[in-house]
Structure formats: structure tokens, C-alpha cells
Amino acid sequence: MANTRSATKRNRQSVKRRARNASVRSGVKSIVRKAREAIAAGDPAKAKEAVRVATRLIDRASTKGVLHAGNASRRIARLAHALTTKK
């Protein structure tokens, strides 16, 4: 339990941020899954578009600080690699 007003406020802020971050993280997972499914389906145009959308969302999550920069870079690289090798 927070003992000071500032600690109470920081608690409230961290709860809000945690919820927001969880939402963004969940969205990233969903869009990456959709991209992987599009790659597996074999339609190159659809797969390329899905990977492009996923890349933008991952980059945005990294910019917001939800994902670590290295983590985001690795996810994007793996998607790109999957796209180029599956053709």
C-alpha cells in the first residue's frame, strides 16, 4: 500500500499503463499470427500486405516502449525471413 500521495498517484498511473501495454501487446500477437497464417496460406500478395501491417504495428509498439527495440527488430526480421523463404 502506498504511503504518500505521490506513490498513490504513481500506482494509479502504472495500473493504467499496464492495461494499455497489455492491449498493445495482445494486438501485436494477433496481427503477427494473422501474418504467419497468410504466409502459410501461400498467397504472396496477401502475405506481403499482412507482414507490412504487422511490421508497422510492431514498430509502433516499440516506439511506445511496450516492446524492447531488440525484441521488435527480431520479430520483424523473423517475419520478413518467413515471407522471403516461403515464396
Domains of the chain plus CATH, in order, are 26-86 (1.20.58.110)
| Helices H / strands E in the chain, number of each | 3, 0
DSSP summary character for residue 65: T
Distance CA 35, CA 29 (A): 10
pLDDT at 1: 80
Is residue 50 a contact partner of residue 35, using CB atoms and an 8 Å limit? yes
List of the chain residues with pLDDT < 50: none
pLDDT at 87: 54
Sign of CA dihedral 52, 84, 73, 35: positive
